[in-house]
Amino acid sequence: MGKQATVPTCSVAGAFHGVGEPESVINVGVSGPGVVNRAVSRVKDSDFGTLAETIKKTAFKITRMGELVGRTAASRLGLPFGIVDISLAPTLAVGDSVAEILESMGLERCGTHGTTAALALLNDAVKKGGAMASSYVGGLSGAFIPVSEDAGMIRAVEEGALNLEKLEAMTCVCSVGLDMIAVPGDTSAETLAAIIADEAAIGVINQKTTAVRIIPAPGKEVGERVEYGGLLGSAPVVPVHDFASTDFVRRGGRIPAPVHSLNN
């Protein structure tokens, strides 16, 4: 692995070095949920086209700023410039929530009907704005939906608006998979394996980045909260499905790779 510098804090796809890559490089990660939320709040009565254009222009501005900072730093340090990654990565700070962006788009609470469509619009507009601002955009540019790290997501789970099934549906249209979700500590290994298999299927069939950060909480039951501290925040324990997947998971072997094209 080569050395890399990242400014400020964010997941940066360009930080992974391989053959042909420089030993040292400047990559820039920019996260701006609060900035996007304020922009969305200003166009509450506008149609979807205007909403998407507003998000795209905002993403363009902050991506361009990130590239300017990165290129300046690279020049002064005598290093090559790598990529800029504009990702809406939430924190527990007030106003720094992806869920609140979706609610500013017109949803009463994140997780209700329309949430997947709103997230798809948001993610696409961010990518389009980033792509226009830089020729070196990181591969994970988009929106992240970690439950424990987003105050709006936590509230939506606690109020019953957001559950594991809806979160899975949302992963079909955003940059990541099931992220920072606490489940009861007595959840079986087979159930966890089935959840991971579902998410892997979404990634393989849709040819997209995905992952699972789901955390069994020992001694905790549905409705209780787990405190992780720092940027990892806290997560309300969500229920898993009552019906088992045991026999399916215990089949073993490999699920065959899907056919993506018959044109050849």
Q: What is the pLDDT of residue 8?
A: 41
Whether 48 is covered by a domain: the verdict is: yes
Whether 70 is covered by a domain: the verdict is: yes
Whether 130 is covered by a domain: the verdict is: yes
Question: What is the distance, to the nearest Å, from the Cα of residue 240 to the centroid of all Cα atoms in its chain?
Answer: 21
Residue span of the structural domain in which 126 resides: 3-249
Amino acid letter for position 15: A
Q: What is residue 59's three-state secondary structure?
A: helix
Share of the chain above pLDDT 90, in %: 68
Model confidence at 110, in pLDDT bands (50, 70, 90)?
very high
- Which residue intervals of the chain are DSSP H helices? 33-41, 48-77, 98-104, 115-133, 151-158, 164-170, 189-206, 246-249
- Which residue intervals of 4-44 are DSSP H helices? 33-41
Q: What is the pLDDT of residue 13?
A: 52
- In this prediction, residues 188-214 reach a mean pLDDT of 94
Q: Could you tell me the two tokens for 256? A: 């065959």
Q: Could you tell me the two tokens for 109? A: 């609470």
pLDDT at residue 32 is higher than 50: yes
- In this prediction, residues 16-29 reach a mean pLDDT of 78
Please, what is the average pLDDT of the chain?
89
Peptide bond into 8 cis (omega under 30): yes
Question: What digits encode the pLDDT tens for the residues 49-95?
Answer: 999 999 999 999 999 999 999 999 999 999 999 889 888 989 888 88
Domains: count for the chain: 1
pLDDT at residue 134 is higher than 60: yes
Model confidence at 5, in pLDDT bands (50, 70, 90)?
very low
Q: What is the pLDDT of residue 139?
A: 67
Whether 121 is covered by a domain: the verdict is: yes
Whether 260 is covered by a domain: the verdict is: no
Whether 129 is covered by a domain: the verdict is: yes
pTM value > 0.85: yes
Amino acid letter for position 115: T
pLDDT at residue 4 is higher than 70: no
- In this prediction, residues 216-222 reach a mean pLDDT of 95
Q: What is the pLDDT of residue 3?
A: 46
Q: What is the pLDDT of residue 10?
A: 46
Question: What is the domain-level CATH number for residue 123?
Answer: 3.20.70.20
- In this prediction, residues 164-187 reach a mean pLDDT of 94
pLDDT at residue 221 is higher than 90: yes
- In this prediction, residues 37-47 reach a mean pLDDT of 95
Whether 257 is covered by a domain: the verdict is: no
Whether 78 is covered by a domain: the verdict is: yes
